[in-house]
Each structure stands twice: as C-alpha cells, then as structure tokens.
Structure 1
C-alpha cells in the first residue's frame, strides 16, 4: 500500500512546486523590479484595451459614414423613380457608392446604375426581405473580392438598394491595427524604462536610509542618525520619524545604563556592609555580640528591601504609558488614613484636608503621600504638615496635595534635579540617612501617569524648610 501511494505523493509535490514557482520568483525580485513590472503590466492592459476600443469605435464611425452616404443616395434615387417614372439608369448622387438597384414587389430589377446587373438582384430573396425590415447585411461582390454593405429604402412598392464598398473601412482598420502593433510595444517599452528610472530615483533615499541604518548598527547610536532627504515627501517624513525614534531609544538606553549602574552601586553598599559584618563575626567566633550583629544586618537588609521595592516600582512605571485604573479616590480620606501611621515618628505629622476626589489608582496615589511624608519626616526638625485642598489651573480644577517640613530645605537651583534617580543634594541627604534616592522620582512618574505634576518650593511663610506640591485633575 505504501509503495502504491508514492507516485501520487510525488505528483502532488510536483504540482505544488510548479504552482508555487511564480510566487517564489516574485518574492526574489527587488522592489524596483516589482514596481516596474506592475506599472508595465497595468500600462499594457490600458494600451491593449484602448487599442481595441479605438478599433471598434473607428469601425462603427466609418460604417456610420457609409450608411449616411447610402441613405442620401437612396433618398435621391427615390425622388427619381417617384410615381410611375422608371428611368433606365439611376445615378448615385454621393461618392463611395458602388452600385444601385431598384426592385419591385416581385423582386425584379426595374432599373440600376451604370455597370450594375439589370436582370437579377445582388441579394437573394431572404436577404431582400430582411433589408425591407431594416437590416443592413454585408455580401460578397460578384465582380471583385470586396465586401458590399447593402442599404435599402422602400418607395411605395419598390425598394432602392444601395451597395457601398466596405473595403475602405477594412483598409483604414488595417492601417490603424498596424500602427497599434508597432506603437503599442514601443510605448510599453518606453513606459517600462521610464518607470524603472523613476523608481530608481525615488528609492535612492531609501537606499541611503538603509546604509545609514547599517552604519548605526555597526557603530551605535552615540553620534549617528539616518540621512534626511531634501524632498518634502513620505521618505523625508519617515526619516524624521525614525530619527526621533532613535533619539528616544538613545535617551532610554542612556537612562537604562545610568539606572543599572546606579542600582548596582546602591545595592553593592548594603551587600558589602552585610558581608563585612558576617566575616568579622566569623573571625571573632562565638564570643561575638550576635544580637547587635543581627540588628546591624537587619538594618542593611531593610535598606536592600526598600531599594528593591523602589526599583520594581520604577520598572512598572517605566512600562506603563498611562494610568490604567480610573477609580474615584478621595484624596482627603487617603491622607487621613496615612498620617496616623506616623504617630510614633521622630517629628510630629499633622494633616489639614478638605473633601477632594481624583480619578486613578488608589495604591499609587497612596505611595505619593507616603514618599513625600517619609522625606519630610527624614529631614524635618520638628514638624511635617500635610494639606489637601483644591485650586484652579487654566480654568481646570485640580486637587492640591502639599507636604511642608521645617528641615534644611533644598537650594532652588537643585530642586528640579532631585527628581532624577539616585540624585542626592548634600551630605545631610546622603544614603546613610536612610533614603534610596528614588522616592521623588517615583512621585513624579506616578503624578505624570495620572495627568498631574509635582514641584518643590520654599515654605509659604518664608521659614526654613521645603514645600512639596502635587497637582492632580479633579474627577468629574
């Protein structure tokens, strides 16, 4: 059974290979070749269709001219034989008429033009009946190899038959056909060459983009960008868009390298501290103060835990393009639930709130409050005040969260830089004081995802300290 199926399988595979060959050949061609082939094929179809329509219309037009000439002659002959007159010879009154015959009701020829058979009609009885009913047949000439078109007109019981030579129509069509057969391929060839040249010129900027991309792949994004063509076309806009994308990628890559380096540096410090303490305890032996050692190690572990949590939060914020949760959050209730947790803090934390609702992620908004209050508690001298209110920006109501401390503050020229990751201003704000250098960065990113913003300012009363302000749009 298996042996009997092999020929069928082979023939099926052969058919598939033969049928798939055009597609494989097509995909191997360059874009210039494919565009040229498509344009040439469409132009060829247009030329062939136009030539056929031209021949058909030309034939109809020439035939209509013959019929008009025959109709005029028939009317003139009808006037010549009107009544009982029967001239021996009728004379065509228009050019291009080959012969004229006049037959009676019994299909007998009663008169004809010079040189035309006066005994028998050139058409048979069946054709004559059809002519009387309006038909215009084409017959072979009895004296030559040409074709005659017959036009008939009834005059009482008589019928005037006008014969016109359609050879002139055929000659005109043959001349037009030869012209189309010669001019059509030349036009198609010219179209193919022109299309190939135009596509080559049009794709030259694309080739430049490809070479530029290859150079960037080899050398990196540091100092290279794609060439921008001078023409204000789609390729120009593509190059500008790609360069903007490369700028963003370069910026993101630089930030990532900096972020990874800073994170490694921050993680190395507590890990090194834990290692040193464990090595010292190992050398000292059982006499070591294990309780104090464990407390010191737990401090470093707590620093590691906070740092890892902040890094994971930043990673999630970097991946998010916008706030995905839009649930209503009571800003005042959120603050009132956070502040009591600082009852045993080193400084007093108080809150003054008014009912305010925003749309967003409650957990993320809670993180803003916690980070700002933690910073205030860490650096304040005696108190931290948290205020929730409303304000209007360009006619749009915003919820305003303000956290004020009476610590050393931050110089005005460095208040924007403290939102950079791992940035610290001075010795009083070093990592030994407990901060990871990521809190304000997290606050800024969360505020941006919620359509808001954050800024640092001096205290409104002019005293020493810092005022952190977070503005978020009020929910409908």
Structure 2
C-alpha cells in the first residue's frame, strides 16, 4: 500500500512557496501578475505604434502616388519623376507588363521594384514590404501601388518608402521597455512589499496580542482591534468574542472543579471517620450502625460521581446522542413503577399515547432526576402528568413539599446550589439533579420552568417536537 504523501513529499516549489511569509507571497504574486500585464501592454504598444507608423507612411505614399498619377492622366508624365515628400524614397511608373515607364532619381529605370505577383497585389490596394536589396538599401521597403489610368488601368505608380525610421522608432520603444520595464517592476515590487506590510500591521498586532494572552491568561487582556472596519477588524472582534466565551467557560470550569472537590471531600471524610471508628471497635457493638452510615456515604459519593460524569459528557459532546421516536407515556409509567416503595406515593396522569423525538436515555434521566427531587421533599404524594401543548408536549412533576422561593428558582439550576445544604446532603442530594435536567431539556430544544404548586413545587418541562 502506498504511503500518504506528507509535507516532505510535496514538490520542491510548493514546499518553498509554503515556507514564505504571507507578505512575501502576496508581493511575489502581485509582482508576477504586474510583470505579465506589463509585458502584454508592451507588446500591444509596440504593435499599435508600428501599425500607426505604417499607416502614416502608406497614407503619405498614396498621396505621392496620386500626384504622379495625375501627371500620367494629363499626359505630362516626364521621363524622370520627383520622389515627393513625407519619407518617400523611390517612385516608379510601370505598365500592365510590369515594364518601367518612368522612375524617380535613384530608382531603377529598367527593372521594376516588384514581381508580377506582387504587382497584382499592390494594384488591388494592398501595400507590401520587400527587401531593401532591390534598391541597394539596408532597410526594408514599403511599397504602395496607385493606379494611374483610371479608364484603362494599364499603368501603375509604385511608391517605395524606406522603413528605417519606423524600425528605429520600434527599436527605441523596445529598448525603453526592456530597460525601463525592470525598473518599473522593481518599483512595483517595493511598493507592494511596503503596502502589504502596512496592511498586515494589524495582523502582527494580533499576533503580539495572542502571545501576550498566552503569557498573562484570558482574564487579563484581549486582542487589539484595528480602527479600520475591514476583515481584520471583524476577525479581531470575532476572536475577542470567542475569548470572552472561553474565559467564561474556563471560569465556570474552575468553579465547577472547586465545587466538585468540596462536595467530594465531605462524604469521603465522613466515610474515613466511620471506617476508622469501626476498625477501632473491632467486633464490639455499634459496628453495624457505622457500616450502614458508611454505605449511605458511599451511595452519596456514587451518585455524585455519576452526576459529575454526566455533566462532564455534557460539557464535552452534549447529553443528547440520538434522536428517535420515544413513547413518552410508556417511559413515564416505567420510571414511576420504580418508585412503588418510595416514602410517598407517586401517581401518573397520562391520558393518551404520546410520542416525542429525542434521546430515550436522556429523557429517562430527566424523569428520574425530577422524581428523585420530588420524592425527597414531598410530604404525602408526587404526581407526574403529560399533556399535548401547542406544537409539543407539557410534562409536569408536582409535589406537596416546602417548594422553592420565587427569588431562588433560577439559582437551583446552578451546579451544587442547595437551598438547605445540610438537609439536602442528609437526604442524598448532590446539587446536580436540576442542572442535568436543564442541560438535557435544552439539548432537546425545550425548556424547564419552576412554578408554585400551592403547596409544593411544580416543575414544567416543555418539549417541542411531537409525533402521532
């Protein structure tokens, strides 16, 4: 089996590119794109300037040819014609058989500048470029043909222009681009490097702020937010919001660990004391009572550890692992059946079958925690009822105990909070039952509310999704 390609197996150019800083990569990429654009612009400029100069020469040659053609039509064509102006070098007048009828000074009066095929092209108004050797010149010649006899079309005026000045202009422009282009690219690269560095200063500030956070902790400082309302501003704001949430979570975690350690210390200390007394008594009387008290503390410790593990799973990945149809009426009856031997009567009021979408284990834990809490404080009875309510179901667990004062009903959902610490511990409470209930119900998209039962406490659980 072939091994997966790791970082060292990437191609060398890709590895080199990944090792560059963001500033260097942006500068290199921008400079490369600018260089390509400059080269294309230079090619277009050279082509456009050359084409424009050729058109200018052709226009000048056509005017000179028209002047000579006028002499041909008037019958006043001399044996030697003037070359004209505008860079025109040579002029020939040829007949239909490409024989020279007249020529300007310097032009061959015997041999035409063009071949028969080339003559056919220039007679159609298509300028051509030929070698300068035909006129003993080092530079190419641009030849334009103008028909002299408009009626018969027997004679044609050939006007040849030296392309030396056009080529010199093109060469000068090419040299300017060749030597000036690298300077422009270098200036562009330096400007891009400076501008990117200026733009990335807030990122460097964020990096320094992150390093300071690593040294000082979340509670002491936050990342600097740049003044410009750009993407980096939004990033810094988002990171600070995330740090606020992490700070809050860390604070809660530290508080939770402290509370858990405090809660665990009490039953362990009590258990140690009772076991030490039992060890000293040996087989004497009173050992049975001590062991029973030790078992009570062990049960308290076991329940507390179970609740701590439940909350730890909730903080890590949530309490609701699956969502399947759950028969809530059957679940209520099954849980209530486990309280037949409780210290108070547990009655159920489930008028019809009712199905909700949720995690069965989580909903089972909600019912157990609520019933444990209600049985713990009820005087004579506990009632569990469920009804269809709007787009969901309404579950109520009611007892006739002392209830919870209105100003403390939200506090009881805090971890390890108890209204009566000593009484709750004696009755086996861990201070985590209702917080676990809220975690599970919230994960199901519902909510938990505490109300007066007159007398006692009514816990309402609203679950949103129902199925027939």
TM-score (norm 1): 0.86
Q: Distance in 2 between matches of 1:198 and 1:124?
A: 61
Task: Pick the aligned partner of 2:416 from 417, 422, 427.
Answer: 422
Structure 1 partner of 2:5: none
Determine which of 139, 147, 150 is the counterpart of 1:146: 139
2:396 is aligned, of 399, 402, 412, to 402
Other-structure match for 2:310? 313
Secondary structure of 1:457's match?
A: strand
| Kept after mapping to 2: 8 A contact 1:403/1:469 | yes
- Taking the aligned partners of 1:104 and 1:434, their CA distance within structure 2 comes to 127
Q: Which residue of 2 aligns with 1:192?
A: 189
For 1:83 and 1:325, locate their aligned partners in 2 and report how far apart those are by CA, in whole Å: 106
Counterpart check, 1:44 vs 2:41: no
CA 1:301–1:322 in 2, change beyond 3 Å: closer, same or farther?
A: closer
C-alpha distance 70-212 of structure 1, shift in aligned 2 (>3 A): same
Secondary structure of 1:306's counterpart equals helix
In structure 1, which of residues 382, 385, 403 is the aligned counterpart of residue 383 of structure 2? 385
Residue 473 of structure 1: CA displacement?
A: 0.4
- CA distance in 2 between counterparts of 1:357 and 1:192 reads 68
8 A contact 2:145–2:158 mirrored in 1:
yes
Task: State the Cα distance separating 1:322 from its structure 2 match.
Answer: 7.9
Distance 1:433 1:419 in 2: 18
Shift of 1:157: 3.8
Partner of 1:7: none
- Does the Cα contact within 8 Å between 1:353 and 1:389 map onto a contact in 2? yes
CA distance in structure 2 between the aligned counterparts of 1:284 and 1:152, rounded to whole angstroms: 135
Query: In the alignment, which of 202, 207, 211 is matched to residue 208 of structure 2?
Result: 211
**Contact 1:140 1:146 survives alignment (8 Å):** yes
Q: Which moved more, 1:352-361 or 1:220-229?
A: 352-361
After the TM superposition, which of the residue ranges 270-279 and 233-242 deviates more from structure 2?
270-279
Matched, 1:34 2:25: yes
- Once the two structures are TM-superposed, the CA of residue 111 in structure 1 deviates from its matched residue by 1.1
1:348 aligns with 2:326: no
| Contact 1:137 1:150 (8 Å CA) reproduced | yes
Aligned equivalent of 2:90: 99
Residue 33 (structure 1) shift:
2.9
C-alpha change, 1:328 and 1:286, in structure 2 (3 Å) is: same
Partner of 1:470, secondary structure, is strand
What SS does the aligned partner of 1:137 have? strand
Q: How many residues align?
A: 452
Q: Deviations over 1:314-349 (max 9, x none)?
A: 122222358442212232232122222212211111
Secondary structure at 1:146 match in 2: coil
Distance 1:188 1:467, change over 3 A: same
Provide structure 1 residue ranges, at least 5 long, that are not aligned to the other structure.
1-15
- Retained in 1: the 8 A contact 2:58–2:127? no
- Please name the residue that 1:244 is paired with: 241
For residue 443 of structure 1, the aligned residue among 434, 437, 450 is: 437
For residue 382 of structure 1, report the CA deviation from its aligned partner: 1.2
CA distance 1:145–1:153, change in 2 (3 Å): same
Offset of residue 53 of structure 1: 1.8
Give the secondary-structure state (helix, strand or coil) at the position aligned to 1:228.
coil
Q: Quote the residue 2:45 is aligned against.
A: 54
State how far apart, in whole Å, the 2-side matches of 1:293 and 1:322 are: 37
Tell me, what secondary structure is at the counterpart of 2:338? helix
Q: CA shift at 1:224, angstroms?
A: 1.1
| Bigger mean CA deviation after superposition, 308-317 or 28-37 | 28-37
The secondary structure found in structure 1 opposite 2:431 is coil
Which deviates further from its counterpart, 131-140 or 224-233?
A: 131-140
**Structure 2 unaligned spans of 5+:** 1-7
Measured in 2, the distance between the counterparts of 1:220 and 1:428 equals 37
| Structure 2 residue corresponding to 1:287, chosen from 284, 287, 295 | 284
Q: Distance in 2 between matches of 1:322 and 1:286?
A: 47
Tell me the SS of whatever aligns to 1:454: strand
TM-score (norm 2): 0.88
Structure-1 residue corresponding to 2:369: 371
Q: Which moved more, 1:116-125 or 1:169-178?
A: 116-125
Task: State the superposition RMSD in angstroms.
Answer: 2.7
Shift of 1:84: 7.9
- Residues 351 and 428 (structure 1 numbering): CA distance in 2 closer, same or farther, change over 3 Å? farther
Matched, 1:170 2:167: yes
2:102 maps to which of 106, 111, 121: 111
Secondary structure of 2:166 counterpart: helix
Deviations 1:20-53 (A, max 9, x none): 4x66665554332332232222212221221122
Could you tell me whether the CA contact under 8 Å between 2:393 and 2:466 is conserved in 1? no
Q: Which residue of 2 aligns with 1:12?
A: none
TM-aligned CA distance change 1:143 to 1:427, over 3 Å: closer
User: Is 1:413 aligned with 2:404?
Assistant: no
